[in-house]
Amino acid sequence: MTFRTRRRWSNFGHFLMAKFFLYLTIIVLIAGGILFLLRDGEKPKVALPALEGRNMASPRPMTIQVSDQKSGIGKLEVKVLQNGQELSLLSKTYPDHPKKLEETLALNSDQLKEGEMTLRITAKDNAAFWSNTGRLNRALQFDRTPPVISVQNQGQNLRQGGSGLIVYSISEEPLATGVMVGEKIFPAYKQASGNYFCFFSFPFNVKRDEFRPLIFAEDQAGNRSETDFGHRARAHVFRQDRINISDRFLNLKMPQFRDSIPASVQTPLETFLAVNRDVRQANAKKLEEFSRNTSSTPLWEGVFQRHPGKTMAIFGDHRTYFYQGQAIDQQTHLGVDLASVVQAEVKAANAGKVVFAGTLGIYGNCIIIDHGLGVQSIYSHLSRIDVKEGQSVERGTPIARTGATGMAGGDHLHFGILVAGLPVDPVEWWDKSWMKENITNKITDNDHSL
């Protein structure tokens, strides 16, 4: 083979080699592009709902939430770093690759000490080509010491449907505190003295042997303390009342509630039952919402003023409703009905601030006045409202005229007292001796700045 021939074959070989590398590069680029397009670039999302906005942690159980909607979750690890040491709390794989999951664990290891720590959470997805990692690192102060509650006034005397005031102090600033009665929470309010005032109730619908009020306090880290306190509770037998519902009443009153009930409810009687049950329940939730708009200090002074008039119904009356001789419903009357003349002037029972002035379901046109510390008064079935929301009033300030709006059968004032949104017996608040012994003395004895 001549030199020229060998050179031609050499050049041809170089040409083939170049072509090979070119095609290989193209194939690699195409394959890489396909893998890039097919890859899952979404990292798992990690959240700690209970610790959002907090820089404190406690041994109480916490929930970790992880989600990955594309590839699912493959592995989760939770570690704590403190004083140069690493402690593994969780290392778990998920063969079924869930799209979202929750894991609950507690920082209850004896190896953890109070002070600074870092919580490190790592979640990997189940991507086919390149797994993605979601991380959450939280620098926290670890606190395992619950707050200490010190009760200042023992010996509460309560009757069913009535109110009470407990005064106490706490060893540290709480995240939340108050009195629990079953599932009902009565919030407490810190005063200038550092003590906490909490109005609570022996609820009308709680039996005496089930009434176990507890003071609770939860600190910024989530440590929680609960304690009982001395109290004497007296059961009360409420009156039984019969209410006859006529067609005239149904035809006169039910049209105003058409927008408040489902379209499937047709007849006046069906409308009445929906209003008496469902609208009444919705109104009760609104009263609890209004209770959060309260002053942290008392706005009232002295005994509450009773509206003049004849008492037509009292607090706690257990009403059975009859239609054409048949019992159709039962409800509890949660206020005092007072009647005198048509469109009688209504005055504020005590000093406070108007937090609601408008129409509210079964109460019709009504006014709610906040007196502070979660104590509020409600004036219902009004024909006219003469105050506005946000307006401050004094005891005896004219605020409205009586009427028959809402579920009222005639012109009268439905007056009520609310504690944390829960109706209580107003009669106590009209009683000068009761107010002095159970409210005024406790306030002045435990906070001289008021």
Predicted confidence (pLDDT) per residue in 161-210, tens digit: 999 999 999 999 999 999 999 999 999 999 999 999 999 999 999 999 99
- Are both 58 and 172 inside the same structural domain? no
Q: Rounded mean pLDDT of the chain?
A: 90
Q: With respect to residue 429, please indicate whether it lies within any of the assigned structural domains.
A: no
Give the model confidence (pLDDT) of 216-266 as tens digits: 999 999 999 999 999 999 999 999 999 999 999 999 999 999 888 888 888
Return the pLDDT at 156: 83
- Are both 174 and 301 inside the same structural domain? no
Predicted model pTM: 0.84
Q: With respect to residue 300, please indicate whether it lies within any of the assigned structural domains.
A: yes
Give the model confidence (pLDDT) of 139-169 as tens digits: 999 999 999 999 998 778 999 999 999 999 9
- The CATH number assigned to the domain holding 370 equals 2.70.70.10
- Are both 185 and 330 inside the same structural domain? no
Give the model confidence (pLDDT) of 267-296 as tens digits: 999 999 999 999 999 999 999 999 999 999
- Are both 211 and 249 inside the same structural domain? no
- Are both 227 and 271 inside the same structural domain? no
Which residue range forms the structural domain that includes residue 177? 149-234
- Are both 176 and 210 inside the same structural domain? yes
Contact 350, 403 (CB under 8 A): no
- The CATH number assigned to the domain holding 128 equals 2.60.40.3880
Q: Quick one: which of 335, 318, 348, 304 has its CA closest to 414?
A: 335
- Are both 54 and 83 inside the same structural domain? yes
Return the pLDDT at 38: 41
- Are both 278 and 171 inside the same structural domain? no
Residue where the block lists tokens 């004094």: 394
The total number of structural domains in the chain stands at: 3
User: Using 50, 70 and 90 to split pLDDT, how confident is the model at 35?
Assistant: very low
Q: With respect to residue 31, please indicate whether it lies within any of the assigned structural domains.
A: no
Return the pLDDT at 300: 97
Q: Please compute the mean of the pLDDT values over residues 119-129 and round it to a whole number.
A: 87
- The CATH number assigned to the domain holding 197 equals 2.60.40.10
- Are both 401 and 287 inside the same structural domain? yes
Which of 85, 117, 142 is a domain's end point? Answer: 142
Q: With respect to residue 10, please indicate whether it lies within any of the assigned structural domains.
A: no
d(CA 24, CA 17): 10
Q: With respect to residue 133, please indicate whether it lies within any of the assigned structural domains.
A: yes
- Are both 267 and 373 inside the same structural domain? yes
Return the pLDDT at 310: 96
Q: With respect to residue 1, please indicate whether it lies within any of the assigned structural domains.
A: no
Q: With respect to residue 24, please indicate whether it lies within any of the assigned structural domains.
A: no
- Are both 196 and 54 inside the same structural domain? no
